[in-house]
Structure 1
Amino acid sequence: MAILRSSLRATDPDFALNAAAYAALREQVSEARHTALAGGGRKACEAHLSRNKLLPRHRINALLDPGTSFLELGQLAGDGMYDGAAPSAGIITGIGMVEGRPCVVMANDATVKGGTYYPLTIKKQIRAQAAARENALPCIYLVDSGGAFLPLQEEIFPDENHFGKIFRNIAEMSSMGIKQVAAVMGACTAGGAYIPAMCDETVIVQGNGTIYLGGPQLVQAATGEVVDAQTLGGADVHTRMSGVADHFAHDDLHALTIVREIIARPGPAASAAPPLAPVAPLYDPSELYGLIPANPKQPIPAREILARLMDGSELSLYRERYGTSLICGTGAIGGYPVGVLINDGVLFSESAQKAANFIELCSQSGIPLLFLHNISGFMVGVSYEQGGIAKDGAKMVNAVSTSRVPKFSVVVGGSYGAGAYAMCGRAFGPRLMAMWPNARTSVMGGEQAATVLALVREEQLARKGQAFTAEEAEAFKQPIRDRYADMSTATHAASRLWVDAVLDPADTRAWLTLGLSLAAASPKQDTRFGVFRM
């Protein structure tokens, strides 16, 4: 096992400059996070509290074991979208400890448009359910929702990954023995009524909780009956007459106590102690802020990052002298073994082949994989295409796709084009995926995209016998650069749930340790690779 020795220190001339630039990036993320935490705003929160209801984050705090953390998924979802009407996409999701057991918690935020479901709300809840399924974690639904946001119904209702997928997931996870528990703490309307109705057990709160397929207005319009919400579908009706709910709660805190009692019943363990003794890195992870260059065009020192992430700053390197633009090796984080792949340059055929072989070895030994993205893509050019780089890149993508060990991705720098795919981007099923505030992702860099599109435009005009001056080319390219700059940021990716979180570099070890601990207790899957083109 090699020690990763750092050659950089806080006294280096660029360290303070880099740290100051990084502080500005972290502040931008902090502003977006503040908006998400505010929910629907002061007036909406006051109206919510006036109904004798806890705010959604207070519900989660009361549910979780005291003093434990909450790994939130998709906190920045919806940032800058829907005209700012859906902070955090109107639902809070994450993983937390309940009665000593990790659980996935999904809490509707009724301060945001009455907790109605936007397209991103559905995507976020399905993402949380996927985390529960992969790690065999109980699901807790804290329901307080007006159902679908009707103006966007065609983006919500009929398709494969729309509203119905939530109910299907509940049924399938229940069939797998993954506990599904709902606490109805407010409205639960129309199709949303199937969430508590399909769960293994359901709690409903007196006076506030309601469950019905058609609300009082719809009932009056359809049948002429005039009825109030509680008579139609309140706690008394559903625990005494219909049997839709199982447990009657007097208020939110009582409901959360009942949920904790349900989760506390004996069941399979959902976390595993680390097999190795956790060891802190030799170098302070807070130094990462000063190691990321203020100029994004400068390379990020890959080994310096590893020296501040790995237990004991140790990594057993694989093929250290071959395919050197990709560093591969095995080590531990928080006492959990992990195979690490981090970019240290563009991907060549040799580095892609090396990655495929390394993934095979880790899969054979059952070692989880961590991909640290800092990649502009695969090398291009005549000699590389003739040398078969597409075939070699496909080997790496094949190995990433078919390996069944738990995979985790963190974008520490750039993540562009096919390189993002090869490094286990979102489409390739990482258990958790995050970006650092400085990170960027898009199909290619803004400058490259602007140049490519300008060349296409120049060819189009040339066929018409028209010139394309340097000034015209620059005026054409600048808006493209600006648009790519805006669309490639970490907050932009997080707002669309392309990643689960924008992660502070100093928190990366703790975040990964929790993910690895969950993966260590999850059901194991056998890997069967596809055909590797030789």
Structure 2
Amino acid sequence: MLARIAQLRALEERAAAKSAEAKPVFDKRGQLLPRERVALLLDPGAPYLPLGTLAGYLQDTKEEPQSVPGGGSIAGIGFVSGTRCMIVADDSGIDAGAVQPMGLDKMLRMQEIALQNKLPFIHLVESAGANLMRYTVQTFVRGGGLFRNLARLSAAGIPVISVQHGSGTAGGAYMPGLSDIVIMVRGRSRAFLAGPPLLKAATGEVATEEELGGAEMHTAVSGLGEYLAEDDRHALGIARDVVCRLSWMPGQARHDNKKLGSDSNLLGVMPLNLREPVDMRDVIACLVDQTHLEFKPLYGAQTVCSQGAIAGHSVGFITNNGPIDVAGANKATHFIQYMCQLGQPIIYLQNTTGYMVGKESEQGGMIKHGSKMIQAVTNATVPQLTIQCGASFGAGNYGMCGRGYAPRFLFSWPSAKTAVMGGEQAARTMQIVTEAGLARKGITPDPEQSKKQFDKIVSMFEAQADAFYTSGLLLDDGVIDPRDTRAVLAFCLDTIREAELKQTNAMQFGVARM
């Protein structure tokens, strides 16, 4: 038995040694070897169960002692930020991580284990894709199950997290495409359906790898990536932070309730003129326990989404540093669905003039993308709470969970203004329409009368937009001192949590007095 165990360990070491032969190349590129990546991702000293270590042994065309086990990947169950996860890493030190026949079966098995045991699925991606010299049609067809399983995991409420250390081409590009969270490495990550050679062969188009699928493009332009890391170590640190904020196990301690921001800073956040720029990240910083992790910070930057905690309750924040554009609407939709997957309440900090208008925005599909965001808000399965901080204009009021979308609680700051649009904008619109109507009749508008009408409309809109007026109509649950925002939200979150835990005795009748 000891001899057989020694043989097993030698075979496992064979795969590690073969991968380690690529270390000079990885060092030159400033990268970590796949096993080094796994080691940095895992909690030091915590249990780890390796799986499928002999996959592919003697199943390839090579015989002993050339056959390298492992199926071209490293897999196991381990702890990341205190959370038990399924971890799979492409062994890019062997054949550049090209998919091996038994590597496909190994990955399918890991996905099945993750689904059955509700384990967050983390994939450290760097693969040359399919080996076309060893192509078989059955491997291609069965390979579709990999992507089906990613969709099943996500739909089952199990987070799929990809760290894109290197290339993901063709089918491999759907690994990040079907992940809930994607972390990319500047200068190293690549994801495209067709790389430069195939693109040129298929269409004649010439493009660089960075233009087609680089990390900066995907995190700022396409939105495929959520986080941009500077190197492998940074990417794995972000992955650990992402897993930490899953708050995966009920009652699992995740956050220090101590707050770093000062409540008094909230008094001066909103200017009297709501057209002046505001960075709502400053508001989030004053509300959260310790720190928060911003989601897709480079994509749709005027819409800010972030994860944090208030008094120990894990929450998501959505707020605005300007109008909501196409990218911002898509980001918010993704974030709302992600929070529903994690079961974490969403807090909307309203400060928007609405959805972006203009020819470019309309041609970009602003209506349909804004509608997707509104659908996500409407059908969200987690509690939603809204604070109206500044402007709440137009459909932005809807997309940011205004009163009509039934948030569990909604409060206003004294600075809040709610209207279909700004007073001057409404007056100018009416002025243009009126003057156009008069012009069709050949009538010259009276400047004095026009000004009176303009001022009247502005006055009417401003009066009705005021937070005290809207609160008088019960369009919120009260106006609060901005300095009390954290305390109010903490109280509401406690109330919601108690409601979730409380088991009531429902009856088919109300209690009648006898």
Scaled to the shorter chain, the TM-score interval is 0.3 to 0.5
TM-score by length of 2: 0.47
Question: Is the radius of gyration larger for structure 1 or structure 2?
Answer: 2
Higher RCO (C-alpha under 8 Å, 6+ residues apart) = 1
TM-score between the two structures when normalised by the length of structure 1? 0.46
